[in-house]
Structure 1
Amino acid sequence: MLDMSVREAVERLLGVPVTGVRRSGGAVCLVTAEGRGVLVAKQGSGPGATAAEAAGLRWLGEHGDVPVPRVHAHDDEWIVMEYVPPTYPETAAAEAFGRGLARLHLRGAPAYGSPPPGGPADAWMGLAPMRNEECPDWATFYGSHRVLPYVRMCVDQGLYDAGQAQVFERLCARLPELGGPAEPPSRLHGDAWSGNVHWGQGAVWLIDPAAHGGHRETDLAMLRLFGTPLLEHILGAYEEAAKDLDAPLADGWRERVELHQLFPLLMHAAVFGAGYARQALRAAEAALAR
């Protein structure tokens, strides 16, 4: 049934016949379209998901700092994008990615919590809803829209009791001091785990964004969360580039990794359950103990 629906959707969006459909996991398909070669067709997670992804890819790719797939078309349910064949990780590509990511972050954003231009405020990160709402500072944004909503979801599912929820509330009250020196909002990918760091054509591509204005340390922490290949090459090149751009990372950024991993851990807990809930609680306790 999915094969038929994606065929019909792509033909409607592109106006050319589809000659082949091959599933590539979940609601993602590789599609051969007449005159267009192989494309990726992806079904959105929920309302606004495809619009958010298309806007995010345009925003991240605006200056060519890091390659992103070209969006051919999208509607309320499907997005059709360039297909980039995968290759193996390489040191040169990792270091180029680190330098490009530093430049991308420093392109900036209108505010913490701002969505990409043309993107919806109500977006998605994987299977979880995600609210992008402009805030005056990082602590307000991160606590109100990236930590506490998912803590409440976990409480509703019985994953945390009232005492455990209070750990996160105490942490959010201390975010202004725990988050390090204030800095302008960065242009974030927002979901930079290893599965969205795509090695292809001798480069590192960013795919599947949850793009928004945020703190650049959040993207760096997400790279570490699930084991991105050649990570130290990426981070070393990033640090050098940030210094060259007169915007070095603040002292202690490596000690704040767990703080910035709270959002993806809580989101995973709300979607996938108790294992991530325990990990998020440990991360919150560790951040409070610093």
Structure 2
Amino acid sequence: MDTLVKENPDAPEGFFESEAAGLRWLAEATEGGGARVVAVIDVSPAHIELERIHAARPTPEMARAFGAALARTHDAGADAFGAPPRGWQGPGFIGKRRQLYATETRWGLFYARERVLPFLEIAEQAGSVTATEARSIRAACELVARGEFDDDQPPARIHGDLWNGNLLWDEAGGVLIDPAAHGGHRETDLAMLALFGAPHLGDIVAGYESVHPLVEGWRERIPVHQLHPLAVHAAGYGRGYGVELADAARRTLALRGR
């Protein structure tokens, strides 16, 4: 098998092991029709060796098949909102930044507390958001934490960092890489795909809903689920993402009571 090795002798403790745990947890769903996941060949504190994916151009048919598979991965479930991959007791990461796990019964409380506010604080310190914008973002987080967007959906087994670059395509279809896997809300992965322009997104959604129809109004809630990735990017990539984060917060607040 052709492989790819990522190495960093100075990687934070648990960094590569966390990636491997997330990939293997997501891959548990593949046998039941879940999304394909890049295979982990070997892992150590300083490296991870993965199956190499040979790129191909995605088609609408491949996108629909991936969407259906992603729904089945989500349906595989998790122990709680914020739960780590089963059996993993180390740290969590998104990119190179640490983020905490949790064991909550309510999605909104976990999401606001562990996925948005910690990165907002970093973004404020970096000057990526103004004081006025930060107040709006915190108000949006309060709305989320109170359960305004909670529903009766159980914790989903989500990728957690599903931007376009972490969805590869080969001749057989879509393949997941580089997750921040945890128990979350199924709309979060779809909102991330929308944020950075996944190819054939409409077909991905159509395939998804052929397996698991989404709760009415999910498109309106996309800004809610984009608060996390925008906060992460505002923390590390500057003012432009801070402006987008503030806009997502305003759109979240506009959904109050709907």
What is the TM-score with the length of structure 2 in the denominator?
0.92
Aligned to 1:205: 175
* Alignment correspondent of 1:125: 94
Instruction: Tell me: CA distance 1:43–1:159, structure 2 relative to 1, closer, same or farther (3 Å).
Output: same
Matched, 1:57 2:23: yes
Q: Select 1:97's aligned residue among 66, 69, 79.
A: 66
**Secondary structure of the corresponding residue to residue 220 of structure 2:** helix
> What is the identity, as a one-letter code, of the residue corresponding to 1:202?
A
Alignment of 1:210-289 (within 5 A): 210-242=180-212, 248-289=213-254
Cα RMSD between the aligned structures? Answer: 1.5
For these two proteins, the number of residue pairs brought into alignment is 249
Q: Give the Å deviation of 1:43.
A: 2.9
Q: Which string of whole-angstrom CA distances, capped at 9 and with x for unpartnered residues, describes residues 26-56 of structure 1?
A: xxxxxxxxxxx42111136533221111011
Alpha-carbon displacement from aligned partner over 1:152-172 (angstroms, at most 9, x marks no partner): 111122223433222122112
1:1-290 equivalences in 2 (<5 Å): 37-43=1-7, 46-64=12-30, 65-175=34-144, 176-242=146-212, 248-290=213-255
Asked which structure has the greater CA Rg, the reply is 1
Deviation at 1:273, TM superposition (A): 1.0
Q: Which amino acid aligns with 2:240?
A: G
- Aligned partner letter, 1:239: E
Amino acid at match of 1:158: G
Structure ranking higher on relative contact order (CA contacts 8 Å, 6+ apart): 2
Query: Secondary structure, in 3 states, of the residue corresponding to 2:2?
Result: strand
Q: Is residue 231–residue 242 contact of structure 2 (8 Å, CA) maintained in 1? A: yes
1:240 positional shift: 1.6
In 2, Cα distance between the equivalents of 1:258 and 1:202?
A: 32
Give the counterpart letter for 1:265 in structure 2: L
CA pair 97-254 structure 1, distance change in 2 beyond 3 A: same
Structure 2 CA distance for aligned equivalents of residues 136 and 168 of structure 1: 23
Please tell me whether the aligned partners of residues 218 and 260 of structure 1 are also in contact (alpha carbons under 8 angstroms): yes
1:81 CA drift (Å): 0.9
Gaps of 5+ in 2: none
TM-score by length of 1: 0.82
Which runs of 5 or more structure 1 residues have no equivalent in the other structure? 1-36, 243-247
Judged with a 3 Å threshold, the aligned counterparts in structure 2 of structure 1 residues 177 and 137 are, in CA distance, closer, same or farther, namely closer
Deviations 1:189-212 (A, max 9, x none): 011111111001321001111100
Contact 2:92–2:99 under 8 Å retained in 1: yes
Structure 1 CA distance for aligned equivalents of residues 120 and 107 of structure 2: 18
Q: Aligned-pair distance for 1:180? A: 4.6
Residues of 2 paired with 1:177 and 1:123: CA distance? Answer: 24
